[in-house]
């Protein structure tokens, strides 16, 4: 009896595992690919504790890289703060704008117009950031004279809204709002793709039932559409949160010398460090990267827990 006791759950467990044998089999390719292409390179995370150039074997430096970034580099903390505020605002806005735009597109009844709108709003995603930046520099240009100033400043001065053209991208007060606007311009349409796909998979039954209950369009949206989108919303939010610390190219192409401190984020900080001195040293950047990852991990876990409490579902 006493010996049989512990084997029983084990048997049951084995039986359960056996029941799911096909599942594990199906998961095998995913497991293998993840292991090969993501886990094997992760050995490189150890370089955060080394001094490492391609020319010599890595040499162990303990916590020195972290001491450097935490205590000896004021620029690191500025960049860290900027990263958090800029990308969290950006994420919040992106979720809000994408969902709203999807709901409004969904209200267009003409099928041709609907498709045309969807396509137009998603096209800017395919312009690279370099191109987007160069176009917006021109549109927002203050210009040396009225003839060379950009569309926006020409409009503002023509109607007497400002006395002197605004140098939007070189003014620390304007830079963040303008950055957020350009990001939304480029990515909102792309963000709607997943929500529009979700909207189409809502069962028409639900709307019929709501109509029978006498719900108008607005009620239907509140009681049917939004709850049905909630899961996708949470999943997309958490997935994007995991990338929140990676803000890079969009900032790099829009920042300039005059607003360098106000706009430097962690990725551009590391990039500038590398590009300026061509140090070919990978230890310190890896340490900054690891720091980023730990913060992102904390954000994801917090959001996941909150979502489980409120919504009953997270992604882990």
Partner 1 sequence: MKERFSLAPEYRARTLFNIANALFFIAVTVAMVVPLWKVLVDSFNNQTSYGLALFPAKPSIDAYEMIFTQSSLLRPFLVSVYTTLAGTAVGLILCTTGAFVLKDRDLPGRKALSFFLLFTMIFEGGMVPSFLVMKDLRLLNTYWAVILPMAMNVYNLILMRNFFENIPESLYESAALDGCTPIMTFLRIVLPLSKAALASVGLFYGVALWSNYTQFAIYISDATKHNFQMRLRTLILDENALAAASSLGVSSKSVQNAAIIVAILPFAFLYPFLQKYFVTGVNMGAVKE
Partner 2 sequence: MTLTKRLLAAVVAVVTLCSMGAAVSAETVKPETITFFIDTVFGSMMLDSTFQPVVDAFKEATGITIKFIKPDHSVYYDQLNLAFASGDIPDLMEIGSTNYPTYASNGALWDMTSAWEGSALRASGAVKDENYVNALKIEGKLYGFPLSMGNGTITYIRQDWLDNLGLTTPANYDEFVETLRAFTEDDPDGNGVDDTFGITAPGLINGETPYDIYLREFYQDAKPDIYQNADGAWVDGMQEPQMLDALYRLRDVYQKGYMDVEVITNNTSAAREKFYAGQTGTFNYWAGNWNVTIENNTRKNFPDASVKPIPPTGGIYIERPSLALAISNACANPEGVFEYLISYAYDGAEGQTLFTRGIEGIHYVKEGDAYKQLPDPENTEKLFEKVIAAPDLVYTSWADPIKLDERVLSSKAMFMENRRFDPVPPASAVWIENISEVIPIRKEAIALAVTDEGVTPEQAIADYVSQAQPFIDAILAERNGK
Which CB atom, from 235 or from 262, has the smaller least distance to partner 1? Answer: 235
Structure tokens at 229: 């989108």
Select the span of 68-76, 158-166, 236-244, 259-267 touching partner 1 (CB under 8 A): 236-244
Figure out which of the listed residues 104, 161, 222, 310 binds partner 1, where binding follows CB under 8 A. 104
- DSSP string over 215-279: --HHHHIIIIIHHHHHHHHHHHHHHHHTTGGG--HHHHHH--GGGHHHH--HHHHHHHHHHHH--
Closer CB to partner 1, 239 or 260, in the complex? 239
Query: Is 278 among the residues that bind partner 2 (CB under 8 A)?
Result: yes
Q: Which of 48, 69, 121, 169 binds partner 2 (CB under 8 A)?
A: 169
Residue number, 74 or 312, with CB nearest to partner 2: 74
Binding span for partner 2 by CB under 8 A among 83-91, 215-223, 227-235, 254-262: 254-262
**Nearest approach, Cβ of residue 313 and partner 1 (Å):** 8
Instruction: Supply the minimum distance, in Å, between the C-beta of residue 194 and partner 1.
Output: 6
Verify binding: residue 46, partner 2, rule CB under 8 A: no
Comparison of 261 and 313: residue with beta carbon closer to partner 1: 313
Question: Taking CB within 5 to 8 Å according to partner kind, which of partner 1, partner 2, none is near residue 146?
Answer: partner 2
Terminal Cα distance for the chain, rounded? 39
Judged by beta carbon distances under 5 to 8 A according to partner kind, the member of partner 2, partner 1, none in contact with residue 176 is: none
Residue 258 sits in the site that holds partner 2 (CB under 8 A) = yes
Helix (H) or strand (E) holding 59: strand 59-60
Q: How far is the CB of 26 from partner 1 (least distance, A)?
A: 5
Using DSSP's 3-state secondary structure scheme, residue 60 falls into strand
Residue 177's alpha-carbon distances to 148, 184, 204, 298, in angstroms, are 23, 11, 40, 27
Q: Is 227 in the site for partner 1 (CB under 8 A)?
A: no
Structure tokens at 256: 């300039």
Contact assessment for residue 236 and residue 194, using Cβ atoms and an 8 Å cutoff:
yes
33 versus 131: smaller Cβ distance to partner 2: 131
If one counts every other C-beta atom within 10 angstroms of the C-beta of residue 50, the result is 20
Element (H, E) at 50: strand 50-51
Q: Give bridge partners of residue 60 from the DSSP assignment.
A: 50
Q: Is 106 exposed, middle or buried (0-12, 13-18, 19+ CB in 10 A)?
A: middle
Which residues contact partner 2 by CB under 8 A?
53-56, 73-75, 134, 137, 141-148, 167, 169-170, 256-258, 260-261, 264, 272-281
């Amino acid at each position: 009896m006493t010996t049989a006791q512990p084997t029983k759950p084990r048997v049951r467990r084995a039986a359960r595992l056996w029941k799911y044998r096909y599942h594990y089999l199906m998961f095998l390719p995913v497991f293998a690919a993840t292991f090969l292409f993501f886990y094997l390179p992760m050995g490189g995370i150890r370089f955060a504790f080394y001094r490492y150039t391609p020319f010599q074997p890595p040499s162990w430096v303990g916590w020195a890289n972290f001491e450097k970034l935490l205590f000896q580099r004021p620029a690191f903390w500025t960049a860290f703060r900027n990263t958090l505020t800029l990308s969290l605002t950006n994420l919040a806005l992106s979720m809000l704008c994408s969902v709203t735009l999807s709901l409004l597109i969904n209200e267009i009844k003409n099928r041709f117009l609907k498709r045309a709108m969807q396509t137009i709003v998603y096209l800017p995603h395919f312009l690279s950031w370099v191109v987007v930046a160069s176009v917006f520099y021109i549109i927002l240009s203050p210009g040396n004279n009225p003839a060379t100033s950009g569309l926006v400043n020409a409009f503002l001065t023509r109607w007497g809204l400002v006395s002197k053209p605004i140098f939007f991208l070189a003014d620390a007060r304007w830079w963040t709002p303008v950055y957020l606007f350009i990001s939304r311009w480029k990515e909102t349409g792309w963000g709607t793709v997943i929500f529009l796909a979700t909207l189409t998979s809502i069962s028409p039954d639900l709307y019929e039932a709501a109509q029978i209950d006498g719900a108008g369009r607005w009620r239907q949206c509140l009681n049917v559409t939004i709850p049905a989108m909630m899961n996708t919303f949470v999943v997309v939010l958490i997935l994007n949160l995991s990338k929140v610390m990676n803000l890079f190219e969009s900032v790099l192409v829009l920042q300039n010398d005059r607003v360098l401190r106000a706009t430097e984020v962690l990725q551009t900080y590391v990039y500038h460090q590398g590009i300026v001195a061509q140090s070919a040293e990978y230890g310190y950047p890896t340490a900054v990267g690891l720091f980023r990852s730990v913060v992102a991990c904390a954000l994801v876990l917090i959001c996941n827990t909150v979502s489980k409490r409120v919504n009953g579902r997270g992604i882990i």
